[in-house]
Amino acid sequence: MKEKINKEKVAGAVVLYNSPLETIDNISTYIDQVEKLYVVDNSVKPNAKLVETLKSYSKIHYHSLNGNDGIATALNWAANQAISDNFSVLLTMDDDTQIPVGCIQQMLDFWSQYPANIGILSGIHHIKPDTAPFRKLLYTLTSGNLLSLSAYSATGPFRDDFFIDHVDHEYGIRLNQNGYVVIELPNIRFNHRLGTTDTLKVGGRIISTYGSHSPLRLYYFARNGVYMARQYFSSQPMLSWMVAEELAKRCVKAMFLQSDTKVRMRMLLVGVKDGWVGRLGKYNSSKRN
């Protein structure tokens, strides 16, 4: 018989990384929708004012990792803590995401009626609303998810050795392979701040705007993407095409539209090489050949 999941069985987790005090505004949109909120801080130097404010909330359990151990490690800490505290579902959030009032209960109502085993239930981010009541996906973004903790226990943890980038993609694929579904509800829309953007000017006119990441983030994107594409090639061949297409876009941006071209291209190429040979974990420039 399918377990009924109510609000009292839902905890939340938000991962901080050099987060500003305004993060409290985002947290305020969902703290009343969960029973407990685990705040996992990946900052090398936590924001003292933010930490002080967070600790004033009775629902918040603040935990610092004493450095940046990556998004996967932070999520795994929160998931294991939630399991120890007897929660059934974990809401996973980025520090820059807001959610609508009452959406957790709305998602739980859908969950209780869906016949298959849900691994992740999510809303949508920055795309046009769909008329369909729901969509089955291979994967979705980490932020704004309701993660089944029984599915987490059966599927295993997020990959710590990915550190960041493609952590959510790889986990969604693994959930699907273990008999769980990843569901998106198009009628629930989250407010998720876009990352850093650059603008391209020609003749004084802005003709393009595009996302921009540091060279180190390009490394992780390339490395984990290539590794994941190789690992799941037989079961998900289209994934390789997606990774190749996205890598090509980032190469074009690095060569023609961004500064520090040589550094960016080098990190992309090193990432591809490391991903191909399976050299994972946190990048350490001092140990490079």
Spans of all domains in the chain: 7-192, 197-282
Q: What is the CATH number of domain 7-192?
A: 3.90.550.60
Give the Cα separation of 188 and 275 in Å (integer): 35
Give the Cα separation of 235 and 155 in Å (integer): 17
Q: What is the pTM of this model?
A: 0.88
Give the Cα separation of 71 and 264 in Å (integer): 22
Q: How confident is the model at residue 41 (pLDDT cuts 50, 70, 90)?
A: very high
Q: What pLDDT shows up at residue 208?
A: 46
Question: Residue 194: pLDDT above 70?
Answer: no
Highest mean pLDDT among 109-113, 152-156, 200-204, 250-254: 152-156
Containing 271, the helix (H) or strand (E) segment is: helix 261-277
- Tens-place pLDDT, residues 247-263: 888 888 877 776 778 88
Region 21-41: what's the mean pLDDT? Answer: 96
Between 93-107, 202-216, 257-271, the lowest mean confidence (pLDDT) is in 202-216
Please state, in angstroms and as integers, the Cα–Cα distance from residue 130 to each residue in 68, 105, 143, 189, following that order: 37, 20, 19, 11
Which residues lie closer than 8 Å to 45 by C-beta, 6 or more apart? none
**Exposed/middle/buried for residue 17 (C-beta within 10 Å: 0-12, 13-18, 19+):** middle
Question: Residue 196: pLDDT above 60?
Answer: no
Question: Residue 114: pLDDT above 70?
Answer: yes
Region 16-27: what's the mean pLDDT? Answer: 96
Which residues lie closer than 8 Å to 194 by C-beta, 6 or more apart? 126, 211
